[in-house]
Amino acid sequence: MKLYKLSYFIKRDFAIFLSYKMALITSTLGTVFPLLTYFFISKLVPSQGQKGLSEIGGDYFSFVLIGTAFTTYFMMAIQEFSATTRRDQMAGCLEALLSSQTDTKTIIFMSAIFKFIHNGTVLIFMFIVATLFLGFDLSNINIPSAFLTFILSIFVFISLGIFSAGGTILFKRGEPFSIVFGTMSSLLGGAIFPVAILPDYLQTISYLVPIKYSLDALRLSILRGYPIEMLSNQLITLLCIALVLFPLSLIFFEWAVEKGKRLGTLMQY
């Protein structure tokens, strides 16, 4: 990877981000308010005997914080590649980018990097606020297993994101990947409530949703300090999904770009 190119993408997006002053303020406030909302909702949920919460210590606030914070991040990974493609299409810059001497995959990948850094910072900020002011307990965290889970999950969701970007090139609006996974993740992934409270048939379907494995492993590694070997089921599943989806997504994206160039629809939005 050419790091100097990456640095120019980050500089570009950082300069544009800073130029929107109001967005800076609203994005900071936007991270704090949901935290408080979940904190007060958690007061309604008894800490003992709740199905699906006991494995992680019974605290609903910890459950929902990890669920929503990481789901938001992973959904960004799915949506950002297609969002950046569409932004550049609409801004008129896509043609200029694609006429440069950098290949399309690199352009799409690097265009999304700043958002990953920015949202990663927001994620850390949320956990700092929750730990300092809302009683979130990070003392049991097993950093290597949490980190490995995060990296494997990122590969899975980046793959879905690349599929989504290819879909945006083909369908412009309403590409199916992020819609399907967005809906499935919130219902079946266990972001806001434990999958264990769902009917049996929905629980069976939830095994097809990658984010379920990510959130299970993240909760167990952060809240209970599970080491890597105790999370092998989830981690191997995530690895297998990533190994299959990542190359397929790149092939699909290349095919979508070629089709767009051949039909002359690449710049349309």
Per CB under 8 A, residues contacting another protein are 2, 4-5, 7-9, 11-12, 15-16, 19, 91-93, 95-103, 107, 258, 261-266
- Cα–Cα nearest to 111, from 131, 136, 91: 91
Q: How far is the CB of 9 from another protein (least distance, A)?
A: 8
Residue 192 near residue 68, CB atoms below 8 Å: yes
Shorter beta-carbon distance to another protein: residue 22 or 132? 22
Shorter beta-carbon distance to another protein: residue 199 or 264? 264
Half-sphere exposure of 254 (CA within 13 A, CB side): 8
Q: How far is the CB of 110 from another protein (least distance, A)?
A: 9
Q: How far is the CB of 78 from another protein (least distance, A)?
A: 25
Output helix, strand, coil percentages for the chain, rounded to the nearest 5.
Answer: 80, 0, 20
Half-sphere exposure of 258 (CA within 13 A, CB side): 6
For 188, phi and psi rounded to 5 degrees? -110, -5
Q: How far is the CB of 88 from another protein (least distance, A)?
A: 10
Residue 241 near residue 149, CB atoms below 8 Å: no
SS3 of residue 224 by DSSP: coil
Shorter beta-carbon distance to another protein: residue 89 or 153? 89
Q: How far is the CB of 99 from another protein (least distance, A)?
A: 4
Shorter beta-carbon distance to another protein: residue 152 or 266? 266
Shorter beta-carbon distance to another protein: residue 8 or 147? 8
Residue 96 near residue 266, CB atoms below 8 Å: no
Q: How far is the CB of 258 from another protein (least distance, A)?
A: 7
Shorter beta-carbon distance to another protein: residue 12 or 51? 12
SS3 of residue 24 by DSSP: helix
